[in-house]
Amino acid sequence: MWLIDTEHHSLRKFDKPPSRYAILSHVWQSEEQDFQFVVSRSRGDRSIASKITECCLEWVWIDTCCIDKTNSVELSEAINSMYKWYSGADICFAYLFDVPARANPAAAGSKFRLSVWFTRGWTLQELIAPKNLVFFSSNWTMLGTKEFFATLLQEITLIDIKVLRFHAPLSSISVAKRMSWASSRVTTRVEDAAYCLMGIFDINTPTIYGEGPRAFRRLQEEITKTSPRLCSSG
């Protein structure tokens, strides 16, 4: 697991996560700084993006720059471990680049309700897994926590509030219902529509970019093997 040292703006590899680390949940935009960019920077380089350096803990994991996507083994390991990493984080920062600080999140048609963050495949697990999730606006003003917004988040995403508040385990929710949470979400790559759900269904399987729709068929086959009862539940 690669983590960024937020003081010195450099990457360090851990065999197991440290006791305290943060995770940044965000939507990829154009010209994201990736693993190779951060590795190439000298220690303390101030050209690292602010959404990377604004995280307040010493160590932070960010998907755009803490995965070496040129290494297929490392990429597969990261995707299979991601849900566990989000679950184990001390805090997860959800950065909503399209939500202004003064917006009323609960208002009908608010920028918060309409944020692209709620439409992406990968952010489904990033909403569910962390115990301590805090939402921030485009200028890093704190908007509120997952706990505070639980009712509103249920309205926006249709995810059961008992799941958001950890009053019920994901394993108690039917496969059909969990699938419905992802039905309107999109991913850039076809395969990620399946890979982003592996943590939601507690599935571990090799990632094979280039396999196309077969990735989703493989996911369904694994779910049927591991959760036959929930596959038929309502």
Q: Are strands 133-136 and 142-145 parallel, antiparallel or unpaired?
A: antiparallel
Average pLDDT over every residue of 203-223: 95
**Residue 127 vs residues 91, 151, 219: alpha-carbon distances, Å:** 12, 13, 21
CA distance 79 to 63: 10
Q: Which pLDDT value is given to residue 51? A: 54
What residues pair up with 145 in beta bridges, in sequence order? 134
Backbone angles phi, psi at 224, to 5 degrees: -60, -35
Q: Which of 7-16, 60-69, 182-191 has the highest mean pLDDT?
A: 182-191
Q: Quick check: 54 pLDDT over 90?
A: no
Mean pLDDT taken over the chain: 87
| % of the chain at pLDDT higher than 90 | 66
pTM for the full model? 0.85
Q: Quick check: 27 pLDDT over 70?
A: yes
Average pLDDT over every residue of 139-163: 97
215-224: pLDDT as tens digits: 999 999 999 9
72-122: pLDDT as tens digits: 999 999 999 999 999 999 999 999 999 999 889 999 999 999 999 999 999
CA distance 85 to 21: 10
Helix spans in the chain (H): 35-40, 50-53, 72-88, 122-128, 150-157, 161-164, 175-182, 192-195, 214-226, 228-231
- Which residue matches tokens 């996911």? 219
Map out the domains of the chain as residue ranges: 2-167, 169-234
